[in-house]
């Protein structure tokens, strides 16, 4: 019994030491992407805020990309970077819909078009990271502040509740904080230090959320037409 307890203690101790020494220990352990689905419910799709056309956001992201490249160069880690997100597709995913049928998707898209919501401002203020569900990829991303996160999660709840009221189960509710990915790196990349460097030179940008995309639809805020 004593040996068994000692072995458990040693395993836990080693896991804690590894976690502390991990080059990405500060990253959120999770991923919002869909994983395996039954063959009769295999439709996955995502709604997203397209940010590349919002004035100033491209430059905001590109500054972080350049700082990440400088850091990787100075630490000889460029081969550890898998790729950077392209400037023409900077975005923040809104809701991840996983494991649905074609009929369910049609109903969900109708719901998207009926929900009333108003535009609001979001402040991107810092950088963070998360680990892919496979463990093979670390995502580095720009993150909105907590007040903005609250607004985004309120909007997510509004749409998720509407979908459920239409009789469709939310198989993959929004859990991960909202973000806009700038880079994908290997687990061996010293992500903690890179994140600390990016956050030591803080930059922020305020953007207005007025519409988002889902499938081939543009879902506009109810006050959006009045401003154009």
Q: Which domains does the chain have, with CATH numbers?
A: 42-227 (3.90.1140.10)
Tokens at 199, concatenated: 């956050």
- Of the given ranges (6-15, 29-38, 101-110, 162-171), which has the lowest mean pLDDT? 6-15
Give the integer Cα–Cα distance in Å for 178 and 93.
7
Q: What is the pLDDT of residues 140-164, one digit of tens each?
A: 999 999 999 999 999 999 999 999 9
pLDDT (tens digit per residue) in 170-194: 999 999 999 999 999 999 999 999 9
Residue 60: pLDDT over 60: yes
User: From the centroid of its chain, how far is CA 99?
Assistant: 19
pLDDT at 201: 87
C-alpha distances (whole Å) from 109 to each of 70, 78, 113, 213 are: 43, 41, 7, 11
């Amino acid at each position: 019994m004593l040996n068994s307890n000692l072995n458990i203690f040693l395993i836990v101790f080693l896991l804690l030491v590894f976690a502390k020494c991990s080059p990405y220990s500060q990253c959120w352990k999770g991923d919002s992407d869909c994983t395996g689905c039954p063959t009769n419910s295999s439709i996955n799709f995502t709604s997203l805020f397209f940010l590349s056309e919002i004035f100033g956001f491209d430059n905001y992201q590109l500054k972080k990309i350049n700082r990440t490249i400088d850091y990787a160069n100075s630490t000889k880690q460029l081969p550890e970077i898998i790729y950077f997100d392209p400037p023409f597709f900077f975005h923040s995913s809104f809701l991840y819909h996983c494991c649905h049928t074609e009929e369910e998707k049609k109903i969900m898209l109708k719901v998207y078009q009926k929900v009333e919501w108003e535009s609001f401002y979001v402040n991107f203020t810092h950088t963070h990271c998360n680990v892919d569900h496979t463990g093979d990829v670390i995502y580095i991303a720009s993150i909105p502040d907590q007040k903005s996160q609250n607004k985004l999660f309120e909007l997510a709840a509004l749409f998720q509740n509407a979908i459920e009221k239409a009789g469709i189960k939310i198989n993959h509710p929004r859990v991960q904080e909202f973000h806009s990915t700038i880079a994908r790196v290997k687990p061996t990349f010293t992500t903690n230090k890179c994140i600390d460097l990016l956050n030591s030179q803080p930059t922020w940008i305020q953007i207005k959320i007025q519409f988002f995309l889902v499938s081939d639809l543009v879902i506009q805020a109810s006050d959006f037409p009045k401003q154009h």
